[in-house]
Amino acid sequence: MKILVVNWRCIKNPEAGGAEIHMHEIFRRVASMGHDVTLVAHAYKGAPKEEVIDGIKTIRIGNRYLFHYAFKHYYKKHLKGLFDIVVDDISKIPLFTPQYVIEPLVGISLHIHGKTLYKELPKLVADYIIKRELRIPEVYKGKLIFADSPSARDELIRMGHSADRTALLYAGIDHELFKNNTAPKSDTPLISYIGRLKRYKQVDLIVKAMPLILKEFPDAVLEIGGKGDDLTNIEAAVKELHLENNVKFLGFLSEEEKARAMSRATVTATMAQKEGWGITVIESNAAGTPVVGSNVQGLRDSIVDGKTGLLVEPGSSSDLAQKIISLLKDKERLQKMEAEAKAWAATFTWERSAEEFIEAAKSEIAANSK
């Protein structure tokens, strides 16, 4: 198949996140299976206009603000009618590709941002994106849209997208990474957060849980790995609570460093307002580390409550602290969760996701040829 993928960002973009990882890991495997994959994404400073990344021909056009207009023009002039199927990675501002793409088309929507955008953007910009997201069921009517978790799929259906045109396409992880980069568990309680430092991730709530944890375990440490524009806010919370000796900022981590950090941790914590799925949850589980996180969309799917981790009342630092303390005090339960976490993570592979996409794409192409 000749496959065109469109996403605002490519995997090398400095602002790439979970949506870009999901897209890249699936389609580099699709390319390795002999299919011709082209990705169009927005340009950014220092990046070549074209390059091949892991078998994916990557074309960069426009800019981060007007990519939706740039892609529509570029497609009509250079790409129209050249592919067997087009994949619209519906993220940020929807591109509304069904209005002009003539090939069979499927969408991938990891999560609807909704009100979480008010944490990240000025109100007028957030209002604009939310209004466009609400039009997805209308504009993509009849198109197959993949979600990566049951709750993300259910949200699309609640918005009005047809249930029989909404499917699951789970994320996988690189299992070899965790087999080859394990590290022994910390001798003292080690809580970990690894991911982007964005306001909607609410990493400051993890910091605010630390004083309660330290009352029970004075030698506990929180490690925060990653980068993002909420770093200053998180650092301020650490300083305000006088936690400089108990919170360590690891900065950006390579994949190998991430795997070792997750392996060292006793528990991973995540308090995001919502997620599409939570790849770092499954990665932590692959490292043998249970995850304690918000009972919100995505995380309630990736965390199996009571088996691979524990769910927490959204927005509650005190509930997060108490759930972590309960695990730290019960070593037998913690060890059982470590084993169940590894078994759960083993079921998610990028190879499976790629194969499931290929089968669905073939069905869509066949249906559109009738």
Whether 120 contacts 199, CB under 8 Å: yes
- 246: helix, strand or coil: coil
Residue type, 150: P
CA pair distance 105, 47, nearest whole angstrom: 28
Q: Are strands 144-147 and 221-225 parallel, antiparallel or unpaired?
A: unpaired
The total number of residues shown for the chain amounts to 370
Q: What are 178's two structure tokens?
A: 């965790």
178 burial via Cβ count (<10 Å: 0-12, 13-18, 19+): buried
Q: How far apart are the C-alpha atoms of 252 and 70, rounded to whole Å?
A: 31
* Residue-wise pLDDT tens digits, 204-222: 999 999 999 999 999 999 9
Multiple choice CATH, 175-345, 3.30.565.10, 3.40.50.2000, 3.40.1260.10, 3.20.20.70: 3.40.50.2000
Whether the Cβ atoms of residue 221 and residue 261 lie closer than 8 Å to each other: no
Pairing verdict, β 105-108 and 190-194: unpaired
Nearest Cα neighbor of 348 from 106, 3, 22 is 22
Q: Which CATH class is domain 2-172+349-365?
A: alpha beta
Alpha-carbon separation of residue 91 from 33, 36, 131, 247, 292 (angstroms): 26, 23, 14, 33, 26
The residues pairing with 144 across neighbouring beta strands, listed in sequence order, are 106
- What letter does residue 186 receive in the DSSP assignment? P
205 exposure class (CB count in 10 Å sphere: 0-12, 13-18, 19+) = buried
For 291-295, which contacts have Cβ atoms below 8 Å and span 24 or more sequence positions? Answer: 291/267, 291/341, 292/267, 292/268, 292/320, 292/323, 292/324, 292/327, 293/268, 293/269, 294/202, 294/270
pTM (2 d.p.) = 0.82
Angle between helices 350-368 and 18-32 (to 10 degrees): 70
Closest by alpha carbon to 230, among 269, 198, 272, 270?
A: 198
Distances (CA, A) of 319 to 269, 308, 315: 12, 18, 9
Segments of the chain scoring below 50 in pLDDT: none
CATH 3.40.50.2000 in the chain is located at 2-172+349-365, 175-345
The DSSP symbol for 349 reads B
Task: State the pLDDT at residue 135.
Answer: 93
Q: In what order do the strands lie in the sheet with 309-312?
A: 247-251, 221-225, 190-194, 267-270, 291-294, 309-312
Q: Report helix angle 279-286 to 255-264, nearest 10.
A: 60
Q: Please report, to the nearest 10 degrees, the dihedral formed by the alpha carbons of residues 288, 290, 296, 301 taken in order.
A: 50
How far apart CA 369 and CA 352 sit, in angstroms, is 26
Residues 6+ positions from 366 with CB-CB distance below 8 Å: none
